Every structure is written in structure tokens, then in C-alpha cells.
């Protein structure tokens, strides 16, 4: 059985999609929006599916994302690890 994380485009509450869309469009994020992105990225990286280089670093640092720049930096490391949650 796969333990793949939930993907933002399949999220049903309607809360996350506008946040990810704003991020992808380069818009400024509020503190609340950053917290939603952090929660999304946390559930993504905590999936046991992810193994390998930088995964422990990503898991250890996801809780400290407090700005758009933090998210960008985190996603760059994730991309290098072969993980693209967006």
C-alpha cells in the first residue's frame, strides 16, 4: 500500500489551492498563508515514500518555514532531492 502524500490540487477544503496558486504566481503570502504552505509541505515530506539525500534535512527544517523566501529555499532543496510537491 502506498503512503504517498496528499497533493494540493486534490485537496477538498478549498483553503490550500488559493495559497499555492498565489505562491506559484509570485504573490506575497500572509503569515496565515505561509502557515498553510508549511503544513502542506510538512505532510508531504513526512511521507515514508521519501528516502535519500537531504530528506532528513527537509524533515528537520520544514517546521521553521516562516517566509516566502524560506519556502523557496526549502523547495530548491526538495527539488534537488527529486521531490516536487507543487
Number of domain units in the chain: 1
Does a structural domain hold residue 13? no
- 7-40 confidence digits (pLDDT tens): 787 888 889 999 999 999 999 999 999 999 999 9
* pLDDT in the model for residue 11: 82
* pLDDT in the model for residue 1: 41
**Residue 41 CB partners (closer than 8 Å, separation 6+):** 62, 65, 71, 74, 75, 78, 85
Does a structural domain hold residue 16? no
Q: At 59, which helix (H) or strand (E)?
A: helix 55-61
Distance, CA of 30 to CA of 18 (rounded, Å): 12
Does a structural domain hold residue 17? no
65: containing domain:
24-80
Distance, CA of 26 to CA of 49 (rounded, Å): 29
Quote the pTM value: 0.89
pLDDT bracket for residue 5 (50, 70, 90) = confident
Does a structural domain hold residue 38? yes
Does a structural domain hold residue 50? yes
Does a structural domain hold residue 45? yes
Amino acid at each position: 500500500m502506498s503512503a504517498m502524500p496528499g497533493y494540493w490540487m486534490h485537496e477538498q477544503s478549498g483553503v490550500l489551492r488559493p495559497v499555492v496558486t498565489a505562491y506559484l504566481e509570485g504573490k506575497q503570502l500572509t503569515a496565515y498563508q505561509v502557515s498553510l504552505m508549511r503544513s502542506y509541505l510538512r505532510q508531504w515530506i513526512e511521507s515514508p515514500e521519501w528516502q535519500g539525500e537531504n530528506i532528513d534535512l527537509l524533515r528537520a527544517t520544514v517546521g521553521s518555514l516562516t517566509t516566502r523566501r524560506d519556502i523557496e529555499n526549502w523547495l530548491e532543496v526538495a527539488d534537488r532531492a527529486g521531490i516536487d510537491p507543487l
